[in-house]
């Protein structure tokens, strides 16, 4: 217990406390000083741009996580129900992208979505379009698409784990008492596995909401996200207290959002 | 083994085979069965005998590889479980962990689109009938094994299915509880009048609860009959050794105008009913058909006692003569003072002897 406590203290509590402490510091021409002030929070609350970016980031990453869930959960269901011994291979294939650097994967989308990329070239070759579709890249669409893609493996893995734990005997009991496959899904499988899907959703949300790499590579000007703001405060703008304040605001809001998600997907009873 | 089929059977199997993918041998090897409405029918056998596979094919969780499964003379072999009017009580209960007991028992009715009020009422009645009424609001994990089993029973019966299938439902319970539940099950079956098909490896259960039973081994039915028939006249060596306990003695039978006699090793001779065909055979002698004689009499066998086993309500004597070992099961006070090394006389009761030709 002592080790766990020390771990939580060092790696979780301390950094977050530091962040909060920094957020009430003042910034004097690039140097943070220990004069406590709430100016940073005031600046955030009164900046329309900041609030807009905050809303956009939360919405985009939530949407990406949601779409990823809609895609990945049924896939996990299929793998668990119908793939028998080959399911390990399927899971491996789904997880392999995670072994590749995040930067490389996002860059790949940059190439695919570009004016001369795979999509535009194919459409042009098929005669469907005369000009390349420019909304594909350097847009909010591109950010959404990329974040969705990145989210899928996470939702898949947690959904798969949760679905595997549903005993076959329960599915048989449901069928035995007259439940069609759809009703078995709705009344038995989903309630018992939705927390897994929710965890995957939450992970995906966390990854997307503070991301600055994706908007930097494929977002263009329209696709700027909150993460970009935070990064610039710790980088070019050199205003760590403001950066910390921005981070704390995000932390609190995402925490609230995740708490709501957890509450909504709660299921009674214990699965043994 | 039973080839004839009547149309009054509620469940019938017509030469059903089941071969699982990748398996070396058939789990169920061409069995045919007719189960009469309202009877308590058991499938008895050791693990791997195919009894559970057979049950699962009746339930609809598996389809037969060849052959047909009929419910009320309708071929349901390809029909999925949720369309069959058959409910199952699972060995591990399979209660839905995220629903209360009440909701668990209401589930079959909800699936049948029964109105909420009536579902609730019928579920309550079903729970009362298994004496679990006061637990309706609890969750499955709060109940003990025996309680969950009763809820599973209520859930399986509430929809008033045509047939109830029970897959070793008492396997996980302790002895006392098992005995109580056997009585509950038997009573319930009689009250409700539904056909029960009961799978078990416990011959005591099968014998005490069934109207008829089928003894299965390696995918086939070795004997189908009433408990009394199967016990007293086992059809094969397997049945004789699986049900009750018997001495099995190789013998050769001589038959003439005076009657038939079985000649076994070491000078043991047993009179057989007139007309028993001659030839080599196996003699199955139930342990309780071997009795102590207080003095040598014609036909008695002199044995040296090698072991005395005290079983509470009985004593088993393991005795040897020459190469043959005979076990006698004595009830009451008989045999209490016999000791190892004693030489005693035992008698074989011809009425308790069965001739097996394998």
Q: Comparing A31 with A119, which gets the higher pLDDT?
A: A119
Q: What CATH number does the domain containing B349 carry?
A: 2.40.50.140
Which domain covers residue B193, as residue numbers?
9-237
Instruction: Answer whether A172 sits within 8 Å of B90, measured CB to CB.
Output: yes
Mean pLDDT, to the nearest integer, of A179-183? Answer: 95
CA distance A227 to A209: 7
Checking if the pLDDT of B175 tops 70, the result is yes
> Looking at chain B, which residue has its C-alpha nearest residue A193?
B98
- Domain-ending residue, one of B197, B219, B237: B237
Closest approach of chain B CAs to the CA of A179, in angstroms? 6
Closest approach of chain B CAs to the CA of A173, in angstroms? 6
User: Considering the domain boundaries, does residue B3 fall inside one?
Assistant: no
Mean pLDDT, to the nearest integer, of B20-41? Answer: 92
Are residues B207 and B103 part of one domain? Answer: yes
Closest approach of chain A CAs to the CA of B39, in angstroms? 21
Are residues B260 and B198 part of one domain? Answer: no
Of B94, B111, B159, the CB nearest to A172: B94
Predicted structure pTM score:
0.83
Quickly count: other Cβ atoms within 10 Å of residue A254's Cβ.
Answer: 19
Number of domains in chain B: 2
Of A167, A176, A187, the CB nearest to B81: A176
- Domain-ending residue, one of B213, B237, B261: B237
Q: Give the per-residue pLDDT at A27.
A: 82
Are residues B257 and B232 part of one domain? Answer: no
- Kindly report, residue by residue over B51-66, the tens digit of the pLDDT: 999 999 999 999 999 9
**Residues in CB range of B157: below 8 A, 6 or more apart:** B87, B126, B129, B164, B188, B192, B194
pLDDT band at A106 (very low <50, low <70, confident <90, very high): very high
- Kindly report, residue by residue over B112-168, the tens digit of the pLDDT: 999 999 999 999 999 999 999 999 999 999 999 889 999 999 999 999 999 999 999
Are residues B263 and B230 part of one domain? Answer: no
Instruction: Return the domain boundaries, chain A.
Output: 60-223
Checking if the pLDDT of B3 tops 70, the result is no
What would the two tokens of residue A2 be?
């002592």
Are residues B350 and B292 part of one domain? Answer: yes
**ipTM value of the model?**
0.83
- Kindly report, residue by residue over A194-205, the tens digit of the pLDDT: 999 999 999 999
Are residues B208 and B92 part of one domain? Answer: yes
pLDDT band at B1 (very low <50, low <70, confident <90, very high): very low
Are residues B122 and B91 part of one domain? Answer: yes
Q: Give the per-residue pLDDT at B358.
A: 65
User: Considering the domain boundaries, does residue B91 fall inside one?
Assistant: yes
Cα torsion through B291, B295, B296, B297, rounded to 10: -70
User: Considering the domain boundaries, does residue B242 fall inside one?
Assistant: no
Architecture of domain A60-223: Orthogonal Bundle (1.10)
- Domain-ending residue, one of B237, B268, B289: B237
- Kindly report, residue by residue over B202-238, the tens digit of the pLDDT: 998 999 999 999 999 999 999 999 999 999 888 888 9
Q: Give the per-residue pLDDT at B246.
A: 87
Q: Give the per-residue pLDDT at B265.
A: 86
Closest approach of chain A CAs to the CA of B111, in angstroms? 6
User: Considering the domain boundaries, does residue B348 fall inside one?
Assistant: yes
Count contacts between A and B (CB, < 8 Å). 79
Q: What CATH number does the domain containing B192 carry?
A: 3.40.50.300
Name chain B contacts of A272, Cβ cutoff 8 Å. Answer: 97, 141
Are residues B229 and B251 part of one domain? Answer: no
Are residues B221 and B116 part of one domain? Answer: yes
Interface residues of A toward B, Cβ cutoff 8 Å, are 167, 169-170, 172-180, 183, 187-188, 191-192, 267-272
- Kindly report, residue by residue over A130-171, the tens digit of the pLDDT: 888 888 888 889 999 999 999 999 999 999 999 999 999 999
Are residues B218 and B100 part of one domain? Answer: yes
Residue labelled with tokens 């700027």: A224
CA distance B51 to B295: 47
Checking if the pLDDT of A30 tops 70, the result is yes
């Amino acid at each position: 217990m002592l080790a766990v406590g020390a771990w939580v203290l060092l790696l979780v509590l301390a950094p977050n406390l530091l962040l909060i402490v920094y957020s009430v510091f003042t910034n004097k021409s690039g140097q943070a000083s220990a004069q406590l002030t709430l100016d940073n929070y005031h600046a955030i609350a009164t900046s329309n741009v900041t609030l807009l970016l905050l809303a956009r980031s939360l919405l985009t990453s939530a949407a990406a996580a949601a779409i990823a869930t809609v895609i990945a959960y049924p896939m996990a269901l299929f793998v668990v129900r119908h793939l028998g011994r080959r399911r390990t291979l399927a899971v491996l294939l789904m997880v392999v992208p995670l072994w590749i650097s995040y930067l490389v994967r996002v860059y790949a989308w940059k190439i695919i979505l570009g004016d001369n990329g795979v999509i535009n070239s194919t459409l042009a070759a098929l005669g469907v379009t005369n000009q390349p579709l420019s909304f594909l890249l350097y847009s909010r669409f591109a950010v959404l698409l990329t974040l969705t893609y990145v989210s899928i493996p996470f939702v898949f893995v947690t959904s798969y784990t949760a679905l595997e734990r549903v005993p076959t005997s329960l599915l048989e009991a449901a069928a035995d008492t007259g439940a069609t496959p759809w009703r078995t899904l709705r009344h038995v499988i989903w309630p018992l596995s939705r927390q897994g899907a929710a965890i995957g959703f939450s992970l995906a949300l966390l990854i997307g909401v503070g991301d600055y790499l994706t908007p930097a590579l494929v977002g263009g000007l329209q696709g700027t996200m909150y993460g970009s703001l935070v990064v610039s405060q710790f980088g070019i703008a050199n205003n760590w207290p403001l950066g910390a304040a921005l981070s704390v605001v995000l932390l609190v809001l995402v925490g609230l959002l995740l708490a709501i998600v957890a509450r909504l997907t709660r299921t009674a009873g214990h699965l043994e | 083994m039973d080839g004839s089929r009547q149309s009054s059977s509620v469940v019938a199997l017509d030469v059903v085979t089941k071969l699982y993918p990748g398996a070396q041998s058939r789990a169920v090897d061409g069995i045919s069965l007719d189960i009469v409405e309202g009877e308590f029918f058991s499938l008895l056998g050791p693990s791997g005998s195919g009894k559970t596979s057979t049950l699962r094919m009746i339930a609809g969780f598996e389809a037969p590889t060849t052959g047909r499964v009929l419910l009320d003379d309708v071929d349901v072999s390809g029909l999925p479980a949720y369309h069959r009017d058959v409910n199952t009580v699972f060995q591990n209960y399979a209660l839905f962990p995220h629903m209360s007991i009440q909701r668990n028992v209401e589930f079959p009715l909800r699936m049948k689109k029964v109105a909420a009020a009536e579902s609730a009422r019928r579920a309550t009645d079903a729970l009362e009938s298994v004496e679990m009424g006061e637990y309706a609001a609890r969750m499955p994990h709060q109940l003990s094994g025996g309680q969950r089993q009763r809820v599973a029973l209520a859930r399986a019966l509430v929809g008033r299915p045509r047939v109830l299938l029970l897959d070793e439902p008492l396997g996980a319970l302790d002895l006392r509880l098992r005995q109580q539940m056997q009585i509950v099950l038997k009573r319930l079956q009689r009250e409700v009048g539904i056909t029960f098909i009961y799978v078990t490896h416990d011959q005591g259960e099968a014998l005490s609860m069934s109207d008829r039973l089928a003894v299965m081994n390696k995918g086939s039915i070795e004997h189908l009959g009433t408990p009394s028939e199967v016990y007293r006249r086992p059809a094969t060596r397997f049945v004789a050794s699986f049900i009750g306990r018997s001495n099995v003695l190789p013998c050769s039978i001589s038959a003439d105008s005076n009657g038939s006699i079985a000649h076994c090793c070491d000078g043991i001779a047993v009179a057989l009913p007139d007309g028993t065909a001659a030839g080599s055979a196996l003699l199955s002698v139930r342990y309780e058909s071997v009795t102590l004689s207080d003095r040598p009499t014609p036909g008695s066998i002199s044995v040296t006692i090698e072991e005395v086993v005290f079983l509470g309500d009985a004593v088993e004597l393991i005795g040897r003569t020459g190469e043959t070992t005979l076990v006698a099961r004595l009830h009451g006070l008989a045999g209490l003072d016999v000791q190892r090394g004693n030489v005693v006389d035992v008698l074989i009761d011809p009425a308790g002897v069965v001739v097996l030709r394998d």
